[in-house]
């Protein structure tokens, strides 16, 4: 149950984020739900900037699962190698593309359960696809959002699962999809893991 002080704090944080990032763009360049799914999969332990550097070449050759399975795992691996974990990621991309063709007529499924059964797709990846491709309320929590939630006193969760639950309980459902992006951009600009200056951080200077 939220106290009046907690409600004020949440409303203030939402106001700051909306003021600074009123219309946050999706950071991964994509053209549809399939290319978004592949981009999010590639972003595991890799920067969005690096993923966006790699995906134009990959999607030029294979913009859909039917074209992707025409490539070998080795060919995919060669294109994506700078993203790291290229062995696991190239296998996952090939195999999930094959499953999309066999089970879903080449379409990306619209449920968490079906997405999370795909190779290389965990809950966070599924949450990003559900929120950003299909507009379903979700609150994807990566290590950066986990860190900020702890800094701001919004969660004492020891893992991203608990932090996601805490944030969902604190913030209105209708704001989850936008807030997830706003917090990512805020963290990059004002609240980095290293070199963070509390006094220069509009939220941490009050609640940090």
CB 116, CB 123: distance < 8 Å:
yes
What confidence score (pLDDT) does residue 208 get? 67
Helix (H, G, I), strand (E, B) or coil at 87: helix
pLDDT confidence of residue 142: 87
Q: What is the dihedral of CA 141, 179, 84, 62, to 10 degrees?
A: 120
Which residues make Cβ contacts (< 8 Å) with residue 103, sequence separation at least 6? none
The burial of 104, by beta-carbon neighbours within 10 Å (0-12 exposed, 13-18 middle, 19 or more buried), is given as middle
Mean pLDDT of successive 10-residue segments in the chain (208 residues)?
79 96 95 97 93 97 98 97 94 98 97 97 96 96 91 90 95 95 95 90 89
Instruction: Give the distance from CA 126 to its chain's centroid.
Output: 9
All structural domains of the chain, each given as residue ranges with its CATH number in brackets, are 4-25+139-207 (1.10.1670.10), 33-132 (1.10.340.30)
Whole-angstrom distance, CA of residue 72 vs CA of residue 173: 41
């Amino acid at each position: 149950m939220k106290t009046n002080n907690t409600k004020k704090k949440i409303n203030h944080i939402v106001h700051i984020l909306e003021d600074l990032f009123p219309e946050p763009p999706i950071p991964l360049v994509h053209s549809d739900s399939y290319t978004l799914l592949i981009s999010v999969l590639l972003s595991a332990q890799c920067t969005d900037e690096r993923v966006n550097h790699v995906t134009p070449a990959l999607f030029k050759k294979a913009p859909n699962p039917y074209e992707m399975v025409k490539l070998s795992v080795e060919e995919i691996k060669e294109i994506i190698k700078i993203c790291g974990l290229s062995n696991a990621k190239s296998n996952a991309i090939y195999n999930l593309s094959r499953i999309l063709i066999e089970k879903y007529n080449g379409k990306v499924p619209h449920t968490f359960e079906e997405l999370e059964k795909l190779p290389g797709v965990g809950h966070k990846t599924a949450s990003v696809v559900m929120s950003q491709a299909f507009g379903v309320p979700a609150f994807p929590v990566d290590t950066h959002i986990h860190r900020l939630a702890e800094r701001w006193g919004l969660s004492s969760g020891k893992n991203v699962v608990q932090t996601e639950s805490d944030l969902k309980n604190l913030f209105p459902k209708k704001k989850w999809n936008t807030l997830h992006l706003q917090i990512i951009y805020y963290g990059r600009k004002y609240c980095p893991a290293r070199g963070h200056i509390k006094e220069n951080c509009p939220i941490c200077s009050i609640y940090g």
